[in-house]
């Protein structure tokens, strides 16, 4: 699906946004079409603010898969908010792993190939111990879903003091998991900026992406969460802003899109969802691609 109409060397990205599954899950595809998503978008498979998930309705699943295929969408799912895969609390940690395994299974049912997950918080323990817990959590879920082809995409964190903020730590987790078929990385631009990686100018973007490539490896990236930042550089503030309206700014966001290093990677916006704004943001991103 990526670069299906691209010529050699042409800057191209599938562009989407996080879309609601309200009503019926297959309606998310209809909404993605209406908003203007091209080739990709993201969903939750259930309410993101509850531990439990209602069973998927088989008719809705069939409609979802049919619509996604017909409209050539690669759909990404995101883990709910409540689980903490780095938690030092044994019960909370165990329940979090159960949700991860459940979401992998739901993705399989829906034909969704990638599941984005947060590193979570190591609470009052060390980053190293938090790292060990998320590695173990991912290994356990992989072991419990051996027939699955769903790839878990680890999303970088916003706070430089948290477990998934530094590229070196993410690279170490990938190395310990040692499973190229089931793991990868989602780069969130707001989170990277908030944790201290500058993205405001073409020069800063080049430096940051070269850093990422030398640690994590661009080859391990499968998705860009394309969000501007309400907070300044290094603020540890996970507050997304509309494209070009935040502290990264239009020049920096354009430089990210038009970097040859990230060419062909799908971008999904998670910007505030005021009425009509999502469609506008997607249109802006489409115009920026190839404009630098």
Catalytic residues: 49, 78, 81, 118, 155, 188, 191, 225, 238, 240, 270
pLDDT the model gives residue 8: 54
Question: Is the per-residue pLDDT at 6 higher than 60?
Answer: no
Question: Is the per-residue pLDDT at 43 higher than 50?
Answer: yes
Give residues with Cβ within 8 angstroms of 235, minimum separation 6: 194, 229
pLDDT tens for each residue of 89-114: 999 999 999 999 999 999 999 999 99
Helices and strands (DSSP H and E) totals, the chain: 9, 10
Which CATH code, of 3.10.450.50, 3.20.20.150, 3.90.1150.10, 3.40.50.300, is assigned to 19-288? Answer: 3.20.20.150
3-state secondary structure of 279: helix
276 conformational bin, left if phi > 0, alpha if psi -120 to 50, beta if neither: left
Helix intervals (H) in the chain: 27-35, 58-70, 90-110, 127-144, 167-177, 189-194, 202-215, 249-257, 277-288
What is the residue extent of each domain of the chain? 19-288
Question: Is the per-residue pLDDT at 4 higher than 60?
Answer: no
Confidence of residue 260 (pLDDT cuts 50, 70, 90): confident
What integer is the mean pLDDT of 156-167? 93
pLDDT the model gives residue 217: 97
pLDDT the model gives residue 264: 87
Pick 4 or 286 by higher pLDDT. 286
Confidence of residue 66 (pLDDT cuts 50, 70, 90): very high
- Alpha-carbon separation of residue 232 from 71, 196, 228 (angstroms): 38, 9, 10
pLDDT the model gives residue 230: 96
Confidence of residue 12 (pLDDT cuts 50, 70, 90): confident
pLDDT the model gives residue 9: 59
| Confidence (pTM) | 0.94
Q: How far apart are CA 105 and CA 103, in angstroms?
A: 5
């Amino acid at each position: 699906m990526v670069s299906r109409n691209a010529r050699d060397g042409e800057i191209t990205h599938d562009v989407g946004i996080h879309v609601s599954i309200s009503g019926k899950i297959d309606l998310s595809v209809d909404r993605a079409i209406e908003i203007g998503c091209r080739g990709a978008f993201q969903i939750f498979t259930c309410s993101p603010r509850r531990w439990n998930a209602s069973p998927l309705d088989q008719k809705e699943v069939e409609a979802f898969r049919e619509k996604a295929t017909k409209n050539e969408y690669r759909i990404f799912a995101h883990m709910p908010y409540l689980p903490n895969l780095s938690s030092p609390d044994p019960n909370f940690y165990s329940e979090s792993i159960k949700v991860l395994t459940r979401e992998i299974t739901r993705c399989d049912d829906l034909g969704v190939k990638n599941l984005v997950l947060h590193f979570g918080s190591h609470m009052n323990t060390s980053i190293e111990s938090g790292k060990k817990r998320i590695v173990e959590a991912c290994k356990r879920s992989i072991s419990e879903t051996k027939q699955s082809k769903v790839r878990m995409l680890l999303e970088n964190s916003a706070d430089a003091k948290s477990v998934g903020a530094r590229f070196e730590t993410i690279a170490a987790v990938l190395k310990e998991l040692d499973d190229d078929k089931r793991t990868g990385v989602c780069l969130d631009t707001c989170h990277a900026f908030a944790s201290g990686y500058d993205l405001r100018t073409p020069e800063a973007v080049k430096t940051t992406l070269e850093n990422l490539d030398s640690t994590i490896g661009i080859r391990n990236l499968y998705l860009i969460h394309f969000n501007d930042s309400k907070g300044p550089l290094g603020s540890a503030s996970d507050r997304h802003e509309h494209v070009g309206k935040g502290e990264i700014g239009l020049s920096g966001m354009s430089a990210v899109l038009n970097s040859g290093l990230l060419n062909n990677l799908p971008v999904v916006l998670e910007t505030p969802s005021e009425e009509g704004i999502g469609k506008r943001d997607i249109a802006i991103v489409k115009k920026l691609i190839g404009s630098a």
